[in-house]
Amino acid sequence: MEKTEPQLLTESRDYAFSQDGDDSLLLDCGQTLHDVSLRYECAGTLNADRSNAILITHALSGDAHCCGRHSAGDPKPGWWDEMIGPGKYIDTNCYFVVCSNVIGGCSGSTGPRSINPATGRRYNMDFPVITIADMVRAQHRLMEFLGIDCWLAVVGGSMGGMQVLEWSVMYPNEVRGAVPIATTAQLSSQSIAFDWVGREAIQYDVNWQNGDYEDKIPDRGLSTARMLAHITYLSDESMAQKFGRNLQDSEEYGFNFSRDFAVESYLEHQGRRFVERFDANSYCFITRAMDYFDMADRAGGDLAAALAPATADFLIVSFSSDWLFPTSQSKDIANALLKNQRNVSFCEIESSYGHDAFLLEVDALGTMIRGFLDNQSKEGAK
């Protein structure tokens, strides 16, 4: 009989900065955020010399629940459960995995729907504008709280990959391996444009109320923003294969403006599901953080100079049909690191899934990540 691994159970925890005596976080915008808290989850066991810790950084709509289930009867596993767990590609029998919800989020960490300690009311749009670097600074505080001196690897896709790059230059002595997946070193004008239209959809919703909504949330606006973004996560090929021009509920056109096509029904479903688990104000703040992300800009446009502080070994992965963060942008990162004579492995995975491939091409991606982590562990043991 084939051996099966036991079910992985994880627990959400909250780290309040005040536990270390300083509840504040100075942000890039110049403001200081107080009473900061991060929601996080761990899986696996930290070894005696604390050398097997891996940080997973999540994408725009992700959260701390990257693997396992919260209870034996929980029907929904973590968002990267196929990748992480006992005996899986990121093996929690070997590694101690940490994932936290970013600041600005809506899944337990301090964000715009949190209470502002200065007013006793929700921050809403009074929440300070954050950056990807601010997210990493908050994660670094968590790292210190957990007593981890150096990550064996920091691994993340999309916006998570941006955090990986920031970790590599902000805390170079505390990152041994870096795995940025399906990401970019600077958001393009096209991506900024998509983010802008998404936020406009939210802010034109009559229920948005300048961000001060309570009972009536801006569900139409947030749903539309998600539908727009979701299109960018797919490829033309994957949409053609999955939907084509198939009609949803009839064999004939309805000759009206309700949904006729299967792709319309799919997007409507994705928008509705997103509204059930995400917050409109958080969407605005997190997409703005992505807009401002530009590593090269901090070094006068020279990406190699911006990445010069990084000392980690890198595994950079892109996907052939990802037009949101195309392979050319991953190659720019790899080439900049090679100019600095860093250890870099790069691979473009053939896939029809588009940007979402980093969540769906588990076997191809996982095999590379497992090999990279094995090498990092062997190098660390020397």
Q: Of the residues 262, 287, 312, which one is the last residue of a structural domain? A: 287
**Same-domain status, 320 and 332:** yes
**Each residue of 151-169: pLDDT tens digit?**
999 999 999 999 999 999 9
Quick one: pLDDT band at residue 2, thresholds 50, 70, 90? Answer: very low
Domain stop point among 238, 260, 287: 287
Domain count, the chain: 2
How far apart are alpha carbons 121 and 134 in whole angstroms?
23
First-residue to last-residue Cα distance in the chain: 37
Query: Do 320 and 177 belong together in one domain?
Result: yes
The answer to the question of residue 159 being in a domain is yes
Q: Which of 243, 268, 287 is the last residue of a domain?
A: 287
pLDDT > 70? residue 208:
yes
Same domain, 168 and 75: yes
SS3 363: helix
pLDDT in the model for residue 5: 62
- pLDDT at position 379 is 78
Contact predicate 176/312, CB 8 Å: yes
Which positions are catalytic?
158, 322, 355
Q: CA 243 → CA 238, 263, 266, 324, 361, distances in Å?
A: 8, 6, 9, 20, 20
Do 261 and 233 share a domain, yes or no? yes
Judge whether 57 and 156 are in contact, CB under 8 Å: yes
Model's pTM, two decimal places? 0.96
Report pLDDT for 269. Answer: 96
Taking a C-beta distance cutoff of 8 angstroms, is the pair 271, 110 a contact? no
pLDDT of residue 188 exceeding 70 = yes
The single-letter code of the amino acid at 278 is F
Which CATH number is 357's domain given? 3.40.50.1820
Q: Which domain holds residue 357?
A: 13-188+294-381
With cut-offs at 50, 70 and 90, classify the pLDDT of residue 1: very low
pLDDT at 254: 84
